[in-house]
Amino acid sequence: MPPLLLLISAVAAIVAALAWWKLSRSAPAPKPPSAVPRPLAQPVSQTPVAPPAPPAPPVPAEEPPPPAAPASEPTVAPEASAQAPEPLEAAEPAEPAEPAEPVEPVEPVEEIPAALTAFSWTHEHELPDARRDALMSVIGGIPCPPQSLHQLLAPDFFDRIGPSELTELLRGEPLIAAKVLATVNAPFYGLSQPVTSIEHSVAFLGMETVRNICVQYLLAQAFKPELSSSQHSFDTIWRASSIASELALHLGKALNLPDHGALATKVVMAFVGHLATAALLPHNAVDEWLVRGRLERAQLEQEVIGLSAGEIGALVLRLWALPAGLVSDVSDSSRVLVTPASTFDPQAVPYLALSYLCVGLGERLALGDVFALVGYEPASDVVDENFYLRAYLKHPALAGLNDALSSPALIAVVQQMRGTGATWP
């Protein structure tokens, strides 16, 4: 560059610097710092100067979390500017509730028959003293059976006596032994060869059946009809007791009831009341009495004698000094006619039900009111005398009763017994 141009440039620079110094001396004082300065607009031709960056706003301190609201007060929703809470973990799905057990329909309450409501069972202790004394004097005239009956009816009979001991007992009672032999050789059993020994009879018939035959024979000796015209009624009672005891024995076995042999014997003893009543009633009224239903018979018995056959039978058994447990069971079985099942011990209910049922079926089969058991269901038998029995039959131990009654073996036994024409020994 020529020296002249350099000189001119230096002078121009010095003049510009002097002008800038003079301008800055004449500028107004700056405003206090509290006021916020407004940036000046710069000329387009000049390069803009960036203002200093404003200081960063102070970071607010974290406030402590608010106290938990009481359970009863609703929770206030946070403001929109507040920090969003962390998402909650998804709750595990609740286990499905177990299905409720189906409610069994309630059976309608069966109304007590009017005839049963009108009847009032009379107990021995409810009799007037004069009438009770008169009845006991008549009952006292019934012959007592031999001591062998006590042996046969002992509660521990099957525990202490086996077939050989029973055979020896029968040998000491020739009339009873003859009855056992006659029974085993009857057409009922259809033997091709006759049985001629007591040992074989006991082995073939079984100890339960032999004991019942012995008991029936001893009872026959105590209740002899005075008139030949009453023989038919006594023969009917004999057949009824035989059929009833066999029914009880077979049903007890089929239902797996313990002591089914004792049950069958108690059924035989339940007919003591029938026999004593037949002996106490007027001779011309026995046949008509026997063909009536159990409820009608009980009403007639109380009107004429003062007590029903079941109560009379209990009096006779006590007079004979038989085991108290046997007397109580026989008496209770007759009271099923008028007694709800809830009155008795649940363990006794199946035995009382079978005893009452078998006695009734034995009577009806012997009289010809029922000719067969095919299709017979006791719970559907709506006669008045079975009103309370139907509740007894709901016991779980009797769940298989209908099948047992319809078994071919039992039906054959009943048909054969009805066809033998058995008579009072």
Give burial (CB, 10 Å; 0-12/13-18/19+) of 248. buried
Report residue 54's pLDDT band, with 50, 70 and 90 as the boundaries: low
Q: How far apart are CA 194 and CA 313, in angstroms?
A: 37
pLDDT of residue 150: 86
**pLDDT on residue 390:** 96
CB atoms < 10 A from the CB of 402, how many?
15
Alpha helices per DSSP H over 153-285? 157-160, 163-171, 174-184, 198-205, 207-222, 231-254, 260-270, 272-280
Rounded CA separation 230/209 (Å):
27
List of residues 6+ apart from 366 with CB closer than 8 A: 236, 237, 239, 240, 243, 418
| pLDDT(420) > 70 | no
Q: Which helix (H) or strand (E) holds 312?
A: helix 309-319
In this prediction, residue 46 has a pLDDT band, given cuts at 50, 70 and 90, of: very low
Q: How confident is the model at residue 338 (pLDDT cuts 50, 70, 90)?
A: very high
Selection from 21-25, 117-121, 224-228, 417-421 with the highest mean pLDDT:
117-121
List all residues 6 or more positions away from 339 whose beta carbon is below 8 Å from its beta carbon.
332, 388
Q: Which CATH homologous superfamily contains domain 128-419? A: Hypothetical protein af1432 (1.10.3210.10)
pLDDT mean over 251-258 = 95
- CB–CB of 307/255 below 8 Å? no
The pLDDT of residue 9 is 64
Q: Is residue 72 over pLDDT 60?
A: no
Q: What is the mean pLDDT of residues 148-166?
A: 86
For the chain, what are the domain ranges? 128-419
- Cβ atoms within 10 Å of 157's Cβ, excluding its own: 17
* pLDDT higher than threshold 70 for residue 368: yes
Which of the four pLDDT bands, split at 50, 70 and 90, describes residue 95?
low
Are 135 and 307 a contacting pair, CB within 8 Å? yes
Question: Model confidence over 196-209: pLDDT tens digits?
Answer: 899 999 998 899 88
The pLDDT tens digits of the residues spanning 268-290 come to 999 999 999 999 999 888 999 99
**pLDDT score for 296:** 96
pLDDT at 246 over 50: yes
Give the lowest-confidence range in 184-188, 397-401, 403-407, 417-421. Answer: 417-421
Greater confidence (258 vs 228) lies with: 258
Residue 350, class by beta-carbon neighbours within 10 Å (0-12 exposed, 13-18 middle, 19+ buried)? buried
- pLDDT at residue 37, rounded to an integer: 44
The confidence band for 191, taking pLDDT boundaries of 50, 70 and 90, is confident
The mean of the pLDDT values for the chain is 80
